[in-house]
Amino acid sequence: MSESVEQVVRTEVVGHEQAEALANLLGTEIPERALPPLWHWTYLLERRAHADLGPDGHPTFGIPAPPGPGRKRMFAGGTVTTYGELLFGVPATRTTRVTDTREKQGRTGPLTFVTVRNEYAQDGRILIVDENDIVYRSADSTVPPASAAPDAEPPQGREPRLTLTADEALLFRFSALTYNAHRIHYDHNWVREEGYADLVVHGPLQALMMGELVRRSGAGLVGRTFRYRLVSPMIGPQTFTVAAAEAGIDAGAEVYAEQGSLTASSTITPIEPEAA
């Protein structure tokens, strides 16, 4: 791995081990030739020294660097453009850099929005461009709880759909697979420090399951741009539902918490010619 102030570059062979682990976590078949869409989130990870972590489990410096002490980090969404598949047994390179930083005032206080761009390449060709939108809240901010009517449920008639039971063990294993030490996903005592009532289901896990719904329905993300947004935190271990968007699975998907509230949504569009 090479690192500078501007970017971090990491290269490693795409092995089968992480894909096998993720497949067994999600209860699906183990891929043999190439990574399914969004499964690259378990590869080419930055494995920081434990001494680099702050009280919340995130690194205190690097890409991205917290804008100030005590700021609370949230994953807001992202955009993944897939030009081709990452093949097993071939070295791949991930190049990471910050492309945008914006300051805003939100309902919970000052917010810092940071966009991190990751480019995944094999044989000198960029196959995936993955942009993550990260938000830093002030130290004294709170999180409004997701609300839903008592009889709320995911929209009926939305097919295809699938469910995933995200219990404590699955949340812990997904944190381990993505090398994510953020304590809101596994530490019942820490969640109160960040204003949550219970463990938080990972935003990337919800996005991954939207991609899985697309994949298992027979569609794919190669040649397409997948944009996803985390609408509200999913609080507490639970069985959540992923359903096709109102316009159909080719247009995107949505995630609904067990009590019926919308927690994440996505759209799928062809790659724009000027971006290819």
Q: State pTM to two decimals.
A: 0.92
Spatial distance between the Cα atoms of 141 and 111, rounded to a whole number of angstroms: 10
Write down the pLDDT at residue 33: 97
In angstroms, how far apart are the furthest CA atoms of the chain? 53
Q: Report the domain count for the chain.
A: 1
- Smallest CA-to-CA distance from 129 within 117, 137, 141, 140 is with 117
Cβ-based neighbour number of residue 91 at 10 Å: 11
Write down the pLDDT at residue 276: 42
The answer on pLDDT for 218 being more than 90 is no
User: With the CA atoms of 208, 214, 216 and 222 taken in that order, what torsion angle do they form, in degrees rounded to the nearest 10?
Assistant: -90
Contacts 24+ apart (CB under 8 A), 115-123: 116/63, 116/64, 118/94, 119/94, 119/95, 120/40, 120/44, 120/86, 120/92, 120/93, 120/94, 121/92, 121/93, 121/94, 121/95, 122/14, 122/86, 122/87, 122/90, 122/91, 122/92, 122/93, 123/90
pLDDT in tens, 19-74: 999 999 999 999 999 999 999 999 999 999 999 999 999 999 999 988 888 889 99
Determine contact, residues 137/108, Cβ cutoff 8 Å.
Answer: yes
* Residues 75-104, mean pLDDT to the nearest whole number: 96
Contacts of 20 (CB under 8 A, 6+ apart): 30
202 lies in which domain range? 2-275
pLDDT in tens, 159-190: 899 999 999 999 999 999 999 999 999 999 99
Spatial distance between the Cα atoms of 34 and 21, rounded to a whole number of angstroms: 15
Q: What is the CATH number of the domain that holds 196?
A: 3.10.129.10
Which of 138 and 1 is assigned the larger pLDDT? 138
* Residues 208-232, mean pLDDT to the nearest whole number: 95
